[in-house]
């Protein structure tokens, strides 16, 4: 097993406030890692360090070492645009563009300058099938993506991320705005693509974490409390806080 | 006993209900007055404006397509010389050209204020646009007269008066309108569209071009139409630089006259009820109809935007 992303002693400051107090986490290739913890524990903040989405928030400082295949993510030489092509992201709120389903999926490919109609068509069909939404949208590919339900929109967004073929997909509570049936479909999609992608998923839903992830990291107040195989973590956590959180004593 | 009491109280209207009616009545009275006022204005301008055609028996086609403007005089066929085409062409000319020139600048400023430098850029440019709005049009006209007209004369020859000078003055005048409305429509683009685009590896410029501007297009078009409406209706500043000769414009620097400038310069020289006066009212009617058209276009664009993005 080789680590795709290694992070060491990650601190993040919003102005003067320290939101992450030194986090060490490594992510293995083709595994699903779940980040769990109560609201405000810094799991989304940490996730957004990995594709530098925190750059968009003014006054944010990140220190420590974050490496993608050995390349420093925060090095001034790192091209953020290329980084984000390799580290895709799925957001909490389904956020398709106000364009057709087709144009949503090919958005990233068009950015790269792909013009070959056949290749675009092929990517659209493949990724929409991977995202388990093809049957629902195949007859209305040129309809606005906003015309679909939240769960369908989120799966269109999954296809949109898959279309650029990233190595890693970050998911920031991708099912928390969805109904249980749509959530289950997203989870099915994750199961279907897990062999090809490295997935890091932030979730509030501990059942979800236990169902889909290989490893789980528990964060609390900006600290990493425990990081282990999901099965071990849910059955025999080492730390008392983890046990308390998993048993619903707080959070 | 108790029960009766409650029934009696329920049948009587409470103080709050009466106040509610009172407030509603005030609203309806105000709305009614304004509606009547608007109706009166429409009726007045229309009745005056069509007098040229009903009383003076000018043919509508002749009025809209004739190129000689000399109300009160008869041409060789014995028809009154009231061809408004030169003014219509000039009005549309300055309006469209001013919008064409102003739009790129306005969009550039709006993008800078919302996407590139939301904090400092907004502070600086906001005050600039507010300042531009606050300057009275006579001042614009005066600056145009003493700076733009001589410059145009120097560079292009002729008198310097004409569509080009009018365009340049109007460009500055409609810039703040188009800019601030464009800023509003760019701000209305949800943040998560930008995030989604950036997270897919788009650069900031690609995000602006492919997502932000695309989503804001109906709003920006509306902003441009509002700017055009302002340019079409502007009288004083244009009148000072356009030359005020009712001639078909032969070039951008030939003296001409817009509908509005003709109205401001001539309305004091005519007597109510005469042919000359009626002809001017017909010009006013055209202005009125055009502003209705502009409003209609704004509506259509708004509906189109809603239809396109919210369904």
Q: Do A95 and B200 touch (CB under 8 A)?
A: no
Contacts (Cβ under 8 Å, ≥6 apart) of B228:
B95, B96, B98, B99, B174, B294
Counting the structural domains of chain B, the total is 2
> In this structure, what token pair is assigned to residue B44?
């007045």
Nearest Cα of chain A lies from the Cα of B112 at a distance, in angstroms, of: 16
Phi, psi of B239 (to 5 degrees): -55, -35
* Residue in A98, A123, A146, A147 to test binding to B, most B beta-carbons within 10 Å: A98
User: Same domain, yes or no, for B98 and B21?
Assistant: no
Strands B69-74 and B80-82: antiparallel
Q: Do A53 and B199 touch (CB under 8 A)?
A: yes
User: Same domain, yes or no, for B211 and B289?
Assistant: yes
Q: Do B198 and A56 touch (CB under 8 A)?
A: yes
Q: Considering B5, B22, B49, which residue would you say is the last residue of a domain?
A: B49
Task: List Cα–Cα distances, B59 to A177, B54, B66, B74, in angstroms.
Answer: 66, 9, 10, 14
- Cα separation, B11 vs B284, whole angstroms: 56
Residue A61 host element (H or E): strand A60-68
pLDDT digit string (tens) for A130-158?
988 999 999 999 999 999 999 999 999 99
Q: Do B200 and A107 touch (CB under 8 A)?
A: yes
Strands A32-36 and A198-202: parallel
pLDDT digit string (tens) for A59-78?
899 999 999 998 899 998 88
User: Same domain, yes or no, for B305 and B157?
Assistant: yes
- Cα separation, B296 vs A171, whole angstroms: 45
Residue B99 CB neighbours (<10 A): 23
The answer, yes or no, to whether residue A1 has pLDDT greater than 60, is: no
Whether B249 is in a domain gets the answer yes
User: Same domain, yes or no, for B94 and B229?
Assistant: yes
Partners of A97 on chain B (C-beta within 8 Å) are 193, 196-197, 211, 215
- Cα separation, B251 vs B241, whole angstroms: 15
pLDDT digit string (tens) for B16-68?
888 999 999 999 999 999 999 999 999 999 999 999 888 888 888 888 988 88
Q: Contact, A65 vs A149, CB < 8 A?
A: no
User: Same domain, yes or no, for B34 and B159?
Assistant: no
Q: Which domain does B40 fall in, by range?
A: 14-49
Q: What is the predicted pLDDT for the residue at B302?
A: 84
User: Same domain, yes or no, for B228 and B145?
Assistant: yes
Q: Give the three-class secondary structure for A37.
A: coil
pLDDT digit string (tens) for A192-227?
888 899 999 999 888 899 999 999 999 999 999 999
Partners of B190 on chain A (C-beta within 8 Å) are 95
Q: Do A147 and B201 touch (CB under 8 A)?
A: no
User: Same domain, yes or no, for B127 and B248?
Assistant: yes
- Least CA distance to B216: which residue of chain A? A98
Whether B4 is in a domain gets the answer no
> In this structure, what token pair is assigned to residue A118?
């056949």
User: Same domain, yes or no, for B160 and B24?
Assistant: no
Q: Residue B224 sits in a domain of what CATH number?
A: 1.10.3720.10
Interface residues of A toward B, Cβ cutoff 8 Å, are: 51, 53, 56, 81-85, 88-89, 91, 93, 95-99, 107-108, 110-111, 144, 146-147, 157, 160-161, 164
Q: What is the predicted pLDDT for the residue at B309?
A: 58
Q: What is the predicted pLDDT for the residue at B21?
A: 92
Considering only CB atoms, A95 lies closest to which of B196, B202, B206, namely B196
Helix and strand counts by DSSP (H, E) for chain A: 10, 10
- Cα separation, A141 vs B6, whole angstroms: 63
Closest CA to A228 of A33, A23, A52: A33
Q: Do A81 and B203 touch (CB under 8 A)?
A: yes
The CB-side HSE value for A241 (13 A sphere, CA atoms) comes to 14
User: Same domain, yes or no, for B164 and B247?
Assistant: yes
pTM of the model: 0.84
- Least CA distance to B115: which residue of chain A? A56
Whole-number percent of chain A with pLDDT over 70: 99
Phi, psi of A132 (to 5 degrees): 55, 40
Q: Give the three-class secondary structure for A90.
A: strand
Phi, psi of A96 (to 5 degrees): -65, 150
Q: What is the predicted pLDDT for the residue at B311?
A: 45
Closest CA to B110 of B218, B187, B225: B187
CATH code of domain A3-246: 3.40.50.300
Partners of A83 on chain B (C-beta within 8 Å) are 201
Phi, psi of B81 (to 5 degrees): -90, 85
- Least CA distance to B203: which residue of chain A? A81
Q: Give the three-class secondary structure for A219.
A: strand
Q: What is the predicted pLDDT for the residue at A136?
A: 92
- Cα separation, A139 vs A155, whole angstroms: 16
Distance linking the first and last C-alpha atoms of chain A: 33
Whether B147 is in a domain gets the answer yes
Task: List Cα–Cα distances, A62 to A58, A65, A80, B9, B21, in angstroms.
Answer: 12, 9, 15, 68, 61
Q: Considering B27, B49, B71, which residue would you say is the last residue of a domain?
A: B49
pLDDT digit string (tens) for B101-156?
999 999 999 999 999 888 888 888 889 888 988 999 999 999 999 999 999 999 99
- Cα separation, A35 vs A44, whole angstroms: 9
User: Same domain, yes or no, for B250 and B156?
Assistant: yes
* Separation of CA B145 from chain center: 22
pLDDT digit string (tens) for B76-107?
777 788 889 999 999 999 999 999 999 999 99
User: Same domain, yes or no, for B39 and B117?
Assistant: no
Q: What is the predicted pLDDT for the residue at B55?
A: 87
Partners of A84 on chain B (C-beta within 8 Å) are 198-201
By CB atoms closer than 10 A (0-12, 13-18, 19+), residue B3 is exposed
Handedness of CA B299, B304, B309, B311 (dihedral sign): positive
Whole-number percent of chain A with pLDDT over 90: 68
Nearest Cα of chain B lies from the Cα of A145 at a distance, in angstroms, of: 9
Nearest Cα of chain A lies from the Cα of B193 at a distance, in angstroms, of: 6
Partners of B214 on chain A (C-beta within 8 Å) are 98-99
* Residue in B196, B306, B308, B310 to test binding to A, most A beta-carbons within 10 Å: B196
Q: Give the three-class secondary structure for B119.
A: coil
């Amino acid at each position: 097993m080789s680590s795709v992303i290694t992070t060491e002693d990650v601190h993040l400051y919003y102005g003067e406030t320290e939101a992450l107090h030194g986090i060490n986490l490594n992510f293995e290739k083709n595994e699903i890692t779940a980040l769990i913890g109560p609201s405000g524990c810094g799991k989304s903040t940490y996730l957004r360090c990995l594709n530098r989405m925190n750059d968009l928030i003014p006054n944010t400082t990140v220190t420590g070492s974050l490496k993608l295949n050995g390349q420093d993510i925060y090095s001034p030489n790192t091209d953020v645009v290329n980084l984000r092509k390799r580290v895709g992201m799925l957001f909490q709120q389904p956020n398709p563009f106000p364009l057709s389903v087709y144009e949503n999926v090919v958005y990233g490919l068009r950015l790269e300058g792909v013009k070959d109609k056949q290749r675009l068509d092929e990517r659209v069909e493949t990724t929409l099938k991977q995202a388990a939404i093809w049957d629902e949208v195949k007859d209305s590919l040129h309809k606005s993506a906003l015309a679909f339900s939240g769960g369908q929109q989120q799966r269109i967004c999954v296809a949109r991320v898959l279309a650029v073929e990233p190595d890693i997909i970050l998911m920031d509570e991708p099912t928390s705005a969805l109904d249980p049936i749509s959530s289950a479909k997203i989870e099915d999609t994750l199961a279907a693509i897990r062999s090809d992608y490295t997935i890091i998923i932030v979730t509030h839903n501990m059942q979800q974490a236990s169902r889909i992830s290989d490893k789980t990291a528990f964060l609390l107040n900006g600290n990493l409390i425990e990081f282990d195989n999901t099965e071990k973590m849910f059955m025999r956590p080492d730390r008392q806080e983890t046990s308390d959180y998993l048993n619903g004593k707080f959070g | 006993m108790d029960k009766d009491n409650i029934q009696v109280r329920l049948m009587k209207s409470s103080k709050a209900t009466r106040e509610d009616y009172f407030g509603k009545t005030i609203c309806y009275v105000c709305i009614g007055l304004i509606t009547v006022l608007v109706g009166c204005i429409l009726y007045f301008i229309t009745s005056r404006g069509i007098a040229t055609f009903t009383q003076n028996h000018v043919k509508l086609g002749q009025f809209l397509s004739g190129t000689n403007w000399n109300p009160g005089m008869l041409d060789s066929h014995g028809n009154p010389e009231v061809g408004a085409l030169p003014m219509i062409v000039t009005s549309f000319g300055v309006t469209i050209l001013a919008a064409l020139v102003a739009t790129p600048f306005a969009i550039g400023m709006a993008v800078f204020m919302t996407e590139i430098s939301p904090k400092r850029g907004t502070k600086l440019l906001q005050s600039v646009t507010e300042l531009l709005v606050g300057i009275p049009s006579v001042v614009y006209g005066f600056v145009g007269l003493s700076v733009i007209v001589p410059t145009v004369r120097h560079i292009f020859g002729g008198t310097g008066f004409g569509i080009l000078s009018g365009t340049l003055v109007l460009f500055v005048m409609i810039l703040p309108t188009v800019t601030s409305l464009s800023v509003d429509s760019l701000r209305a683009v949800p943040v998560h569209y930008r995030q989604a685009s950036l997270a897919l590896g788009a650069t900031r410029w690609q995000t602006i071009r492919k997502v932000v501007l695309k989503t804001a297009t109906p709003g920006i078009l509306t902003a441009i139409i509002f700017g055009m409406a302002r340019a079409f209706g502007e009288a004083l500043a244009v009148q000072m630089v356009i030359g005020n000769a009712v001639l078909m414009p032969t070039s951008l620097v030939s003296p001409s006259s817009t509908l509005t400038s003709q109205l401001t310069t001539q309305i004091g020289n005519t007597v109510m009820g005469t042919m000359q006066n009626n002809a001017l009212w017909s010009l006013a009617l055209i202005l009125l109809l055009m502003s209705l058209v502009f409003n209609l276009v704004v509506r259509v664009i708004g509906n189109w935007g809603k239809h396109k993005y919210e369904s």
